[in-house]
């Protein structure tokens, strides 16, 4: 699941800019080159910052660390396990104190690029480029998500995409079919409500859930080349009418299909997730990474759980086949004296067997390793979701990591104000445009 307190996000990237970049230039800062070609020294402590704290994910890296240490008794793997929320502050602290671990978690997009530009991420092209032995084990799209200026920096651990999860029993009870258009989705909410369900569970206390809806709607209502240019302040115009159209659609969805309405900014996303799991809500917009946590014997049953892509509006000006999502992965500290050992450990983490384990319940994190996600290894929903992600002609990366922090912050504030009724689509877009202008 995505992070996502924008204040922490902006603060982290500000820290990177100050601590990692020299001279204020646009190029990557110079850092001691990590020696990736050296034979690993299987001794000492290897530090790893993960985003796998808490159940059910925490045992995954713990088990891998134990297995690796058994193979290499001279190595101690030190895990720093954080959650979606806590990892932002932890990364900020470690960056500011110049104490980043040997391997550390990253989102793709502007988040990862700042580590590259700050000279904190090792260039892994020689070991994980698409033509290398290791690189060929990953899907090409997942590798390219961490490529900058023709060089490869990231180790993609798992893929991800955003889909509407729905309760099949609720749909049957309400006489509702899976909607084929955005208009049909909004139109189905009255019948679901009459059948006794909250149509769509939605909690926006952390701000990022609104951005997920908006990014998918932007991909539908704004031409792809325009949207891509608008992510970068230097090329952004943010004047396409599709933005206001999408913002209006989002407001209609919130007002028509959620019970919390204007109060949703005070509801945790986990509360919305729980309402869907408990059968109180008919739908919940969720990531593939959440699928295996949406059902269990005490709540929504796996056979009652279905997914569909948030449907595109009729006559949308953008690309109706674009799916929102992005892989998430790990960087190797460019200044680490244990870079070769870090590469060896991450090769172990992304071996075929370990990738299959990651993709299977209870973890349900669909590995980017080719062949790891299959009907035999993964739940039906995870397999179906990743099939759709892999077939999509393009992915719309998360709005909170694909652009610069000032603009992401403005989108966050705008989404919250739109939900509460404190602003209008035109005013929201104007505030984002102003933030983009100031960031040039």
Instruction: Name the range with the highest mean pLDDT among 227-241, 255-269, 381-395.
Output: 227-241
Answer yes or no: do 229 and 311 share one domain: yes
Total residues belonging to the chain = 440
Residue 10 or 196, more confident? 196
> Residue 18 has what pLDDT?
40
148 and 172 in one domain?
Answer: no
Tokens of 146: 């961490």
Q: Is residue 104, in this structure, part of any structural domain at all?
A: yes
pLDDT at 373: 94
- Interatomic CA distance for residues 207 and 226, integer angstroms: 25
Q: What is the pLDDT of residue 25?
A: 33
Let me know if residue 138 belongs to a domain. Answer: yes
Are residue 18 and residue 92 in the same domain, yes or no?
A: yes
pLDDT, mean of residues 200-214: 94
Beta strands 151-152 and 395-396: pairing type?
A: unpaired
Instruction: Mark whether 271 and 346 lie in a shared domain.
Output: no
Residue 383 placed within a domain: no
Mean pLDDT of 259-279: 87
- What is the reported pLDDT for 8? 45
Domain count along the chain: 2
Q: Are strands 155-158 and 281-287 parallel, antiparallel or unpaired?
A: unpaired
Residue-wise pLDDT for 320-331, tens only, equals 999 999 999 999
Question: The tokens 């020299």 sit on which residue?
Answer: 22
In contact, 363 and 157? CB cutoff 8 Å:
no
Collapsing DSSP to helix, strand or coil, 342 comes out as helix
Residues 47 and 142 placed together within one structural domain of the fold: yes
In this structure, are 259 and 145 located in the same domain?
no
Domain assignment present for 393: no
pLDDT at site 211: 96
Distances (CA, A) of 117 to 17, 87, 176, 260: 8, 20, 50, 41
Higher pLDDT, 72 or 5: 72
For residue 43, being part of any structural domain is answered with yes
Q: Kindly report the pTM of this predicted structure.
A: 0.82
DSSP H or E stretch at residue 166? strand 162-167
Using an 8 Å Cβ cutoff, are 201 and 279 in contact?
no
Pairing of strands 323-324, 395-396: parallel
- Domain presence at residue 380: no
Q: Are residues 91 and 176 in the same domain?
A: no
Distance CA 364, CA 287 (A): 11
Does residue 391 belong to any structural domain of this protein? Answer: no
Instruction: Write the pLDDT tens digit of every residue in 3-13.
Output: 444 444 445 55
Which DSSP symbol is given to 309? Answer: P
Nearest one of 362, 354, 360 to 383, comparing CA atoms: 360
Helix or strand run (H / E) with residue 11 = helix 6-20
Beta strand pairing call for 151-152 and 147-148: antiparallel
Per-residue pLDDT averaged across 278-303, rounded?
A: 94
Tokens describing residue 47: 């530090």
Contact 346, 340 (CB under 8 A): no
Cα 123–chain centre separation: 22
Q: Which domain does 28 fall in, by range?
A: 6-160+326-372
The token pair that represents 413 in the structure block: 């504030």
Is residue 79 predicted with pLDDT exceeding 90?
A: yes
Separation CA 163–CA 284 (nearest Å): 9
Q: Quote the CA–CA distance of 205 and 421 in Å, as a whole number.
A: 15
Cα pseudo-dihedral 293, 296, 302, 305, rounded to 10:
-60
Domain match, 243 and 202 both:
yes
What residues are paired with 200 via a beta bridge?
Answer: 283
Q: Are residues 68 and 213 in the same domain?
A: no
Q: Which residue reads 């071996």 in tokens?
A: 351
Q: Tell me: the pLDDT tens digits for 295-325?
A: 988 999 999 999 999 999 999 999 999 999 9
CB–CB of 93/15 below 8 Å? Answer: no
| Mean pLDDT within 180-206 | 97
348 inside domain: yes
| pLDDT(394) > 90 | no
277 and 195 in one domain?
A: yes
pLDDT of residue 100: 97
Nearest C-alpha neighbor of 61 from the set 138, 158, 205: 158
For Cα atoms 99, 103, 104, give the angle at the middle one, nearest 5 degrees.
75
Longest Cα–Cα distance of the chain, Å, equals 66
Taking the mean position of all CA atoms in its chain, how far away is CA 36? Answer: 28
User: Average pLDDT in the 410-425 region?
Assistant: 96
Q: Please tell me whether residues 266 and 364 are part of one structural domain.
A: no
Tell whether the model's pLDDT for residue 261 goes beyond 90: no
Residue 317 has φ and ψ, to the nearest 5°, of -85, -10
Q: What is the pLDDT of residue 5?
A: 41
d(CA 18, CA 22): 8
Residue 27 carries which DSSP code?
S
Task: Please indicate, yes or no, whether residues 219 and 354 belong to a single structural domain of this protein.
Answer: no
* CATH number of the domain encompassing residue 155: 3.40.190.10
């Amino acid at each position: 699941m995505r992070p996502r307190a924008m204040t922490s996000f902006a603060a982290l990237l500000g820290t990177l800019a100050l601590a990692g970049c020299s001279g204020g230039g646009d190029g990557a800062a110079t850092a001691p080159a990590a020696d990736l070609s050296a034979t690993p020294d299987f001794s000492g402590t290897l530090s790893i910052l993960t985003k796998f704290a808490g159940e059910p994910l925490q045992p995954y890296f713990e088990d891998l660390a134990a297995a690796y240490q058994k193979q290499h008794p001279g190595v101690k793997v030190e895990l720093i396990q954080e959650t979606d929320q806590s990892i932002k502050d932890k990364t900020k602290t470690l960056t500011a104190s110049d104490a980043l671990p040997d391997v550390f978690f990253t989102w793709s997009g502007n988040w990862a690029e700042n580590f590259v530009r700050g000279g904190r991420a090792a260039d892994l092209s020689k070991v994980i480029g698409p033509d290398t032995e290791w690189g060929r084990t990953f899907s090409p799209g997942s590798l390219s998500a961490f490529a900058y200026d023709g060089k490869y920096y990231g180790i993609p651990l798992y893929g991800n995409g955003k889909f509407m999860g729905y309760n099949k029993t609720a749909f049957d009870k309400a006489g509702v079919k899976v909607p084929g258009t955005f208009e049909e989705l909004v139109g189905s909410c009255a019948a679901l409500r009459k059948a006794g369900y909250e149509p769509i569970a939605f909690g926006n206390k952390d701000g990022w859930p609104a951005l997920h809806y908006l990014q998918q709607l932007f991909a539908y209502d704004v031409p792809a080349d325009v949207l891509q240019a608008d992510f970068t302040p230097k090329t952004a115009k943010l004047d396409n009418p599709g933005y206001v159209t999408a913002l209006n659609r989002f407001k209609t969805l919130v007002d028509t299909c959620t019970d919390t309405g204007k109060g949703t900014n005070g509801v945790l996303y986990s509360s919305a997730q729980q309402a869907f799991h408990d059968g109180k809500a008919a739908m919940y917009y969720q990531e593939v990474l959440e699928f295996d946590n949406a059902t269990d014997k005490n709540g929504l049953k796996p056979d009652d759980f279905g997914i569909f892509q948030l449907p595109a509006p009729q006559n949308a000006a953008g690309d109706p086949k674009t799916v929102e999502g992005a892989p998430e992965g790990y960087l190797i500290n460019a200044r680490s004296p244990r870079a070769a050992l870090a590469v060896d450990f991450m090769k172990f983490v992304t071996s075929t067997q370990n990738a299959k384990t990651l993709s299977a319940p209870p973890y349900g994190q669909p590995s980017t390793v080719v062949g790891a996600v299959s009907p035999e290894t993964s739940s039906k929903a995870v397999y179906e979701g990743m099939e759709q992600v892999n077939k999509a002609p393009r992915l719309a990366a998360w709005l909170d990591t694909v652009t610069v922090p000032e603009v992401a912050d403005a989108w966050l504030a705008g989404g919250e104000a739109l939900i509460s009724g404190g602003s209008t689509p035109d005013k929201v877009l104007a505030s984002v445009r102003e933030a983009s202008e100031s960031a040039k």
